[in-house]
Structure 1
């Protein structure tokens, strides 16, 4: 017997529509999340209407189209995404919450509201997310555009956009305005640490991701259920064009998807009262959240302290070691977040347990901030099928900025708190690298990426000044340096950097 306030996940749901499906509808964010929520309610095996009425808190994950205040959703949107979904499923929650951006949010809020249940503050919560990127693209060139505007009103705890945590005016001016270039800097920093050449590292990334595509090919909720070979993933072609160095397209999260997911968590007492069969219950046995230093402050760009600490703490809370984990779903927008965990815990790319249950963001799909909610759904399903096993979900947000971990099992245990707050002090105490914003003089390239998505191919550089070892950012369209960055290996190359009046440092070969 466990404490009746112990939280259990009792229902999970997923929904995907592919543009080549018969009857493709081009659904809105609300409709995608509604389908997933209905599936989660049905998955409880209890009275759907009664369960819906019992939900006290609906927590929504923010879509890309509402991630900044700078542009309106192209097809309109609900003024209260969370309550629009609740209304469609016959629920009227006391509290509606909208999370900031970040792929760690799925696991972070499951942990947050599971803890609230354990504390007796609430009994039932639902976490939901969706991404209608496919719909936006489909209707972008059509005249028959739908209008998804919806005025629902009602209470909403909007926690803000949150993008300011991941970028600054300085980094944005130097090209760090999208995830591929940001993670390209991290993967090339890891390559520098390993001492690998460009081709060898691209092969290592392809070897990591090929097994992911094998899982995606068998997943009915996958956006791209196609198995890819190592050679196909690593070879640059017109179809597999370079996005940002070091990534061809097949190594980049597929965000033009229509996907939704939902997870229902409630107390053991509520599960019994609502008639949820015990074979549906999955316990959140371990959990932790950690926040990394800002990108330019980090001494070692090739590691993730937050991922290391979050995984270790979640395992400690669960009372198990990494060898006791039966399944993993590691956030995989690009290779680096997977490598960051594998490097710390000695997991091989071909670990027989696998590193994903969904198929990963480049193949299963990368539905914005809600990808790991699909990972949680798959893990809950797998834990039910293998009673007593443990499954680990690693959720990553920002520029490897936040990492949240959940360890799941049908093996009962009372809720155990984690030490995330105390461990965060370890990150705060880490040394930092001084940054020179207006850099001038000679330096070396510490890491780099190349933006092929700009009108002119442009190199993005993090470097160190020879004079004092301080770090700086720079961009370059210098023909000779860009050639080295696209066709050679610029790591450690000597450069000259000059500040400009617009606050952008520009680099050339020294």
Structure 2
């Protein structure tokens, strides 16, 4: 028997539009989230609504050219005709959807809510297209009401040493991790590019079959890594096709309920999807990390979620690993011993470069699709890994229709062990001889280099040097110590 307080997912929904669609309506983020939420909620009354933060309010310097909702979760609730007693706006980061689903499941299990709606949406494509139009729409929404605004949550994500070299953007920082992995593997620039193309080409095939994908064209590995006018270099080693596609219009929603509420709503038990395992962990600040090519927090989160679920990697039918850049997938696969060409695939949507990267909300789409696949194959298990920051925050969920009690995770104890690993000391002034650890170069700019001194300290500098810095300086260098 399953306890009445056990949380289950009982509804999911998605919405999307493309400017080329014949029925394109230039929907706002609130419109898209409301459309998705209406499909998820049905006739249920919502106790709590928790929303993923839009890109246009994700940093202190963000702005909304077409206007924005002053209270996004309440704006969505109002359009649904709902008056939840509690509204939440989560912190910035791609981990937010899974983290919120886990939190809301815990709230239901504790008896603090009967139903909870998690929603999010972005209209970045529409905003970019219409921001300068003479008849541009106004997305301003002044719905009022209680809101728990958790702030930006950006602490530790902007090291001053990287900021001094203009490297605060995701492509620039992720490129550093990518080249660090390349150095560890001892691959040339060209050979490593082949591995990135081979990783993401199957993702494009999955996106081609998804009705809400932003890019539904199958790409070969060679197409993804070949520089062309339409596939320009963003930050070495990333041409445009290997990075998250943020110019999308997409929304998603997940409705959770207690088993008792699901019964009252007459949701058939074969539609209930249980959260069997979950974990939320954080990596240390970028320059403190012992190995810039690794992501131990993500690996530990996946392992802990699987342990809670009582299964191993081989027990999963579906896997969706957050894929903003190749390294976000590679680093998890490396740590788990999961082949990058696993026959199950590593995405259920097509991933961020092809399905689309709707701001912080991508993982909610992955959860929606994982729920749908779990319902189509009862008793199977699906995993969603959600990444935030710069390989900084990782939230994991394991889903199945197989009944299971709610289990609290032990993320806090695991986090303490991760935090106990000594940080790498950082030099504030230029030292003597150094060995290049990693680097990146943006078109028309000097390379930004992270190097190690002879005594193991880390230093950030820049150089106009051309060519493959890792081949020139790191071929015979020892690998940095593993985390």
Superposition map of 1:130-279 within 5 A: 130-279=121-270
Maintained 8 Å contact 1:222/1:364 = yes
Shift of residue 359, structure 1, vs aligned partner: 0.2
Superposed CA deviations along residues 216-236 of structure 1, whole A, max 9, x for unmatched, are 000001000110001111211
For residue 467 of structure 2, what is the aligned residue in structure 1?
A: 484
Deviation at 1:444, TM superposition (A): 2.2
Structure 1 distance, partners of 2:136, 2:147, is 28
Where does residue 461 of structure 2 map in the other structure? Answer: 474
5+ residue gaps, structure 2: 477-483
TM-score by length of 2: 0.96
Whole-angstrom CA distance in 1 between matches of 2:189 and 2:451: 18
Map Cα deviations across residues 48-92 of structure 1 (whole Å, 9 max, x no partner): 23x0xx211100101111112224311111110110000001110
Query: Which of 390, 395, 400 is equivalent to 1:404?
Result: 395
User: How far does residue 492 in structure 1 lie from its aligned partner after superposition?
Assistant: 2.4
Q: 1:355 aligns with which of 346, 357, 371?
A: 346
Using the TM superposition, give the Cα deviation of residue 489 of structure 1 relative to its aligned residue in structure 2, in angstroms. Answer: 4.1
Counterpart for residue 502 of structure 1: none
- Residue 16 of structure 2 is aligned to residue 13 of structure 1: no
Which residue, out of 307, 317, 322, partners 1:331? 322
User: Is the aligned partner of 1:384 residue 2:375?
Assistant: yes
The count of aligned residue pairs is 476
CA RMSD of aligned residues (A): 1.5
| Partner of residue 23, structure 2 | 23
Cα deviation code 1:193-246 (max 9, x no counterpart):
111110111000110000000000000010001100011112111111111111
Which residue matches 1:75?
66
Asked if 1:61 corresponds to 2:79, the answer is no
Q: Within the alignment, does 1:394 sit opposite 2:376 as a pair?
A: no
Unaligned runs of 5+ in 1: 42-47, 495-510
Residue 481 of structure 2 is matched in structure 1 by: none
User: Aligned partners of 1:82, 1:208: CA distance in 2, in Å?
Assistant: 36
Q: Separation in 2 of the partners of 1:144 and 1:334?
A: 36
How many Å separate the matches in 1 of 2:106 and 2:211? 32
- Find 1:122's aligned residue among 113, 116, 126: 113
446 and 367 in structure 1: CA distance in 2 versus 1, 3 angstrom threshold = same
Deviations 1:246-266 (A, max 9, x none): 111110000010000000111
Post-superposition offset of 1:192? 0.6
Partners of 2:40 and 2:181 lie apart in 1 by 39
- Provide the C-alpha distance between the structure 1 equivalents of 2:191 and 2:124, rounded to a whole number of angstroms: 33
1:217 to 1:491, Cα distance in 2 relative to 1, 3 A: farther
